[in-house]
Structure 1
């Protein structure tokens, strides 16, 4: 028997890594987490999920966005006051989260090793530390590994990043800037989240996206409603356009030349067109693992094993959906499989959440996907203006869309745009994963007044348009 230092070593302390570490520890295994940040939490805590969502919540608070429907004139705090408020909330939130994670790992007897990890053999890692200026290195061995190092912003060479007027999403998370105007390159989830945050601060925003349509993985009706709200709030969209050249003036303000010859001038450029796996220093060549052009690892979708059976990978490093929620579950499943524990999945559908302003959430099949897969469908739509709660909140522009199967009346998908969407989606998640459908939603009693009542409105909308032969006796 080969004696290893640990049963399980996790590289990366983000959502996937820490959930895997805690799960393995609960199975009675000796576990270590290696992370090269000053404090635990990974991209999710320090530059990604939590910072952007905390900034979003702070901006909604300091601008009074949620009360705009009832105010003919908004009171705006000064720029410095807003920045101070956002920075204070960000520091408090992230500090509290790190403390919670530290306590969770300590309670579960997980060893945390700060340093850069690099494979030196199939079962060995070299750890390089730099603590208070003192550099040390040592090696550890393990029976099994999980790579959960996450991703970092993609920084192509033709973009003149300077950390002040041309930045990536990490630069925004570190210190929310307040430019006079901003161009966001990349109309994906991260780009749209920050574009709507800046727009809410009444900063003119232009979004440049190479694809003809935003958020192609989201239902068309939801995207159409979302785009309408974006343009209504003054965001300019340049879809189907690519960048030919970026130049900086004497004040370092960027001018973007698009492929159609148009020029965009702004006080700042935020580049959010993609992320790459943070694998360049892992020494993957030592263990025979390769990554794709964006640094992502290929795994067996059922087991999360790489081509080396004792080395697993989870989280953003394995690609879509790259959500903190799914990353945590992937980490747990990898740990369970590594030590022979059967995995009980709670359901086949998981929710997507986009924390733009307004929010977008989705689960299950879109209308297009359902029809392409051969389902006969009926659509139910509820607009927030049809709910009393929507009027109370001044939240009338949102909508909820349900996709039902005409044959067995099952709920196939739910898609929502509007404030509160990322919370409301969990009702649809439960109904789909428990094989519910239109009858449950139309018969169920929801608290009044609530936005959740939109599910009943949508179900009745679909029910009223079903062919009579399909109706319940």
Structure 2
């Protein structure tokens, strides 16, 4: 049998490509070497955000006096129930994805994929049984894996990467997290709120430098305020497990830190090891990423790549869209290119961060005249109710025509309310929308109106 499309990988990118093709009544096969749903569903986004939900609830519960609840109320965590909830949510997601693929008459093969030529794949299952299939088009959606430096031994008992950290014994009291990227910052917030003393190590001199500087600084203040120790400009050179079963980390500065566990989150590399891309002469960069054009085509005819394997932005949301774009190009020869400047970014630290559009730095570099409007969550009724005294939303808009250029926010639920700004940005609207619209009361969405009014006041020197 010759398939119209063979998809290697079942994460958000692979799922969406497969389903889009199947809806055109095409014959589709998905190959998955591990669990359905990929890293996103099984060891990454979904389980980590589930744990974050628990941590956020606990952090709010510890501040329960604002709700009139006695401080003597218990805050003990039932570790087995926490783990059970993680497993249940992961399993439910797997079942949903599996049903969705089957409902669309998509075949699923379990095993590793290896290219013979650009139309032929050999699938090897766990029992080393092999099956050869042919496909008119092949889409690579194998994702990435954590980088393991040679000087660190990962045993998944004391030293972890981001794929294995959720197997941690939650009774650990101290944790070193190496790498203050998105994953490192998210886990630092989660484990700190669960009562673990976290030390966050970063080689650079600023947290998440791609963020608006004001938002980045606000996050750093919040993390330090929650007890996280942040050490900038430090590079780890060794990590060893001592006779006392603790981790001793050594840095280039000759400093050492002792901890119960260490989480290493610096870098991820493309999962290309067993694909034998050399058989189709498909090259990757030094991080295992595959180069594609705007419709996800590689340099080899009939071979597409989507998701984390092609590099930034490496988001589940954009990966899903990339899968749909690739399928549309394959079978309709049409597609809508993705405008990366108008996609939302969500970072699930505590508090959350979200952004869309330009930053002040990018606007300055482009010499675009802009003004800033800032709204504080404490200025809204909903912000007062939930006790978010530090959340802010920042609007960037054109000084001359008031066109919205960017939205940046930090605080409770900002990954939800960011889409209001995204919609206006996508349709090239102005901040007049926020001034003229009536928002539900009390909601955090009202902060858009406050920020817009603040921006107009600044523009008019009021």
TM-score (norm 1): 0.93
Identify if the C-alpha distance between structure 1 residues 182 and 369 changes in structure 2 by more than 3 Å, giving closer, same or farther.
same
Deviation at residue 448 of structure 1 after TM alignment: 1.1
Q: 1:95 aligns with which of 91, 94, 102?
A: 91
CA contact under 8 A between 1:379 and 1:402: conserved in structure 2?
Answer: yes
Structure 1 equivalent of residue 313 of structure 2: 321
Q: 1:124 aligns with which of 115, 120, 127?
A: 120
Structure 2 equivalent of residue 406 of structure 1: 399
Q: Secondary structure at the match of 2:105?
A: coil
Q: Please show how residues 33-432 of structure 1 align to structure 2 within 5 Å.
A: 33-37=30-34, 39-62=35-58, 64-65=60-61, 67-68=63-64, 70=66, 73=71, 75-79=73-77, 81=78, 83-130=79-126, 134-175=127-168, 177-300=170-293, 302-344=294-336, 349-432=342-425
Deviation at residue 438 of structure 1 after TM alignment: 1.3
Whether 2:17 is the aligned partner of 1:24: answer no
Q: Secondary structure at the match of 1:465?
A: helix
Segments of 5+ residues of structure 2 without an aligned counterpart are: none
State the alpha-carbon separation in 2 of the partners of residues 60 and 285 from structure 1: 46
State the alpha-carbon separation in 2 of the partners of residues 339 and 370 from structure 1: 38
State the alpha-carbon separation in 2 of the partners of residues 26 and 66 from structure 1: 49
Q: Secondary structure at the match of 1:419?
A: coil
CA contact under 8 A between 2:215 and 2:408: conserved in structure 1?
Answer: yes
What is the CA deviation profile of residues 407-450 of structure 1, one whole-angstrom value per residue up to 9, with x for unaligned ones?
Answer: 22111000011110110111111010011111111111111111
Identify if the C-alpha distance between structure 1 residues 228 and 72 changes in structure 2 by more than 3 Å, giving closer, same or farther.
farther
What is the CA deviation profile of residues 134-157 of structure 1, one whole-angstrom value per residue up to 9, with x for unaligned ones?
Answer: 431110000001000001111111
State the alpha-carbon separation in 2 of the partners of residues 229 and 78 from structure 1: 24
Deviation at residue 248 of structure 1 after TM alignment: 2.4
RMSD: 1.8
TM-score (norm 2): 0.96
Identify if the C-alpha distance between structure 1 residues 66 and 432 changes in structure 2 by more than 3 Å, giving closer, same or farther.
farther
Deviation at residue 324 of structure 1 after TM alignment: 0.3
Structure 2 equivalent of residue 451 of structure 1: 444
CA contact under 8 A between 1:123 and 1:142: conserved in structure 2?
Answer: yes
State the alpha-carbon separation in 1 of the partners of residues 75 and 224 from structure 2: 24
What is the CA deviation profile of residues 363-388 of structure 1, one whole-angstrom value per residue up to 9, with x for unaligned ones?
Answer: 00011111111111110011111111
Q: Secondary structure at the match of 2:206?
A: coil
State the alpha-carbon separation in 1 of the partners of residues 147 and 413 from structure 2: 30
Segments of 5+ residues of structure 1 without an aligned counterpart are: none
CA contact under 8 A between 1:58 and 1:89: conserved in structure 2?
Answer: no
Deviation at residue 62 of structure 1 after TM alignment: 4.5
Deviation at residue 246 of structure 1 after TM alignment: 2.2
State the alpha-carbon separation in 1 of the partners of residues 40 and 408 from structure 2: 25
Identify if the C-alpha distance between structure 1 residues 183 and 377 changes in structure 2 by more than 3 Å, giving closer, same or farther.
same
State the alpha-carbon separation in 2 of the partners of residues 75 and 288 from structure 1: 63
Deviation at residue 459 of structure 1 after TM alignment: 0.2
State the alpha-carbon separation in 1 of the partners of residues 427 and 17 from structure 2: 26
Q: Please show how residues 434-473 of structure 1 align to structure 2 within 5 Å.
A: 434-467=427-460
Deviation at residue 252 of structure 1 after TM alignment: 2.8
Deviation at residue 91 of structure 1 after TM alignment: 1.5
State the alpha-carbon separation in 2 of the partners of residues 76 and 184 from structure 1: 28
State the alpha-carbon separation in 2 of the partners of residues 62 and 454 from structure 1: 26
CA contact under 8 A between 2:31 and 2:109: conserved in structure 1?
Answer: yes
Deviation at residue 253 of structure 1 after TM alignment: 1.1
Whether 2:2 is the aligned partner of 1:9: answer no
